[in-house]
Chains A and B, each alone.
Chain A
Amino acid sequence: MSDKATIVVHSGDMDKLYSALIIGNGALAMGMEATLYFTFWGLLRLTKGGLEKGPLSKMHMLGMGKRMIKQRMAKQNVASLERLMKDFKELGGKIIACEMTMEIMGVKASDLNEELIDTYGAVGTYIQESRNAALTLFI
């Protein structure tokens, strides 16, 4: 087993993106490798300007819940998703974009934040990344 964490980011919800990026950054900070595989609703968060656009997974209430949580997060000085993504890349984290999702949703590579993406791939890429991973999660 290698010291690697791989995470499938299936959800596009803001709170779940936080979980994925915090765990990814934690793994990198503690000396593991980390790979995030963005698929389905998660992939939409890689579109230009899309990172912070996700709804809350619960009590979104047409955006009211999200606004409240964001206020509380700001009060506790929680890092933005933009910052967590920047840190993830700076510490050597890898991002894979799901090609099938791109086809289904009509998302072109030029619609995505291409500078964040290391590889475009499908299930085989994820399995190959995860084959020897000590930790793998589906979020």
Chain B
Amino acid sequence: MAELKVDVRGETCPVPLVEMRKALRKAAQGDIIEIIGTHPASKKEIPMAAEALSVKILSDEQLGNEWKIVLQK
């Protein structure tokens, strides 16, 4: 099981969503994808996308102005 890291700090719409999707496409079943970013709307929308894609959300936290979302394919 691999762990992929996606750093989209400083990136704005639609890059965080797009980079999340790219990572999910590369990942194998069971892989963990950790996404860190700063774009506020993406913090809400990445979990929405994960749900639409039937991907598990392992954690979702805000750390100052950064957020970290961990998904499992």
Contacts and interface: CB of A to CB of B under 8 A. Distances in A.
A77 B11 CA distance: 6
Interface string B45-57: 0001100110000
A76 B12 contact: yes
A31 B20 CA distance: 11
How many A residues touch the partner, as a band?
10 to 19
Nearest to A23: B14
Instruction: Please report whether the interface of chain B is mostly helix, strand, loop or mixed according to DSSP.
Output: helix
B10 interface: yes
A29 B46 CA distance: 9
Interface in A25-49: 25-26, 28-31
A1 to B, nearest CB: 14
A26 B12 CA distance: 12
A91 B25 contact: yes
Indicate the member of B10, B13, B21, B48 with the most A CB atoms within 10 Å. B21
How many B residues touch the partner, as a band?
10 to 19
A102 interface: no
Given A26-B17, A29-B49, A31-B52, A90 B22 contact: yes
B15 interface: yes
B18 interface: yes
Contact of B15 (A30, A79, A90, A91): A79
Interface of A: 22, 25-26, 28-31, 76-79, 84, 87, 90-91
